[in-house]
Copies of this chain bind each other. A is one copy, B any other.
Amino acid sequence: MDEARGLDAVVDGVFVALADPTRRKLLDLLAAQGEVTATTLADGLPVSRQAVVKHLTVLDAAGLVSGRRAGREVRYAVRPAALDATARWMATLAADWDRRLANVKRIAEATERDTP
């Protein structure tokens, strides 16, 4: 098991991770190439390998990627679970807002009708 934190913590990590454009580009590359090393990823980006490693650490903490050693190199790959969980969380939230907005609108109209 790897998730002892609450859903809120997961969601928070994902948002922070996805807020950076370099990290999103990194996820694009990883999704396209499968299992790649940090050095290879740095070749396709305008930043140093160290910067890539730091980003991968953030993405790993967010549960969006994971790396495994293979000899002298570490291959990283994408993990859809956290992204999917956050997507569902957001969809639920959006639906909740819709519901509340409908309520507020209804009440406002009723009040408006009483005091024109």
Does the CB pair B16–A104 fall under 8 Å?
A: no
| Chain B CB within 10 Å, residue with most, of A12, A19, A32, A95 | A19
Task: Bits for A68-84, please: 1 = Cβ < 8 Å to B, else 0.
Answer: 00000000011110011
| A19 cross-chain contacts in B, Cβ below 8 A | 15-16, 18-19
Count of identical protomers in the assembly: 2
Does A93 sit within 8 A of B, measured CB to CB? yes
CB distance from A19 to the nearest CB of B (A): 4
Does the CB pair A104–B35 fall under 8 Å?
A: yes
| A78 cross-chain contacts in B, Cβ below 8 A | 97, 100-101
Interface residues of A (CB under 8 A from B): 12, 15-16, 18-19, 21, 31-32, 34-35, 77-80, 83-84, 86-88, 90-91, 93-98, 100-101, 104, 108
Does the CB pair A90–B97 fall under 8 Å?
A: no
Does the CB pair B93–A83 fall under 8 Å?
A: yes
Does the CB pair A86–B80 fall under 8 Å?
A: no
Does the CB pair B31–A100 fall under 8 Å?
A: yes
Across the interface, A80 reaches (CB within 8 A) one of B12, B16, B83, B101, namely B101
CB distance from A52 to the nearest CB of B (A): 19
